[in-house]
Amino acid sequence: MSAHDYRFVANDGGDLPLSAWRGHPVLVVNTASFCGYTPQYEGLETLWRSRRDRGLIVLGVPSNDFGAQEPGSDAEIKAFCANYHVSFPLTRKVNVTGKEAHPFYRWLADELGERGVPRWNFHKYLIDGEGRAAGAWPSSTGPQSKEIAAAIDALLPARS
């Protein structure tokens, strides 16, 4: 199995199969509106805008699993994200831990062991173009960190 075997429902209700992004690196981030890390939306948006033309996908996955910091409806989440000018895709709110975790997150835990289990909001996972888990970073590692940027850039075509 690979990440391409999983799908989410978009914040607006559309289908979001990860296979649609085959050949592209995808940075998947479980998000929350009322977290101390919420300002990372700005860095995620900057990362998305600076690399989407080269193939990067950023996918926000709202979750209320940690500290009940994403209590709103999908419409409220989308409206909140507008404050950060978020234009990258967002899923509907899902569980990312425990027995009710979305199957993609259960797969990550199987693939990466303890590194694959999010410990808080804004945990980041990089999926390569073949659908393999290529990296994982905790909430404290910002989306524009050198470590994340280098991992993403290694999967993108060179700038022309």
- The catalytic residue positions are 35
122, 31 contact by CB (below 8 A)? yes
Q: Please tell me the distance from the alpha carbon of residue 93 to that of residue 112, in angstroms, as a whole number.
A: 23
Residue 57 phi/psi, 5-degree rounding, is -115, 135
Q: To which residue do tokens 């289990």 refer?
A: 117
Give the rounded distance of the alpha carbon of 73 from its chain centre.
19
Is residue 31 a contact partner of residue 70, using CB atoms and an 8 Å limit? yes
Beta strands across the sheet bearing 57-62: 57-62, 26-31, 124-127, 133-137
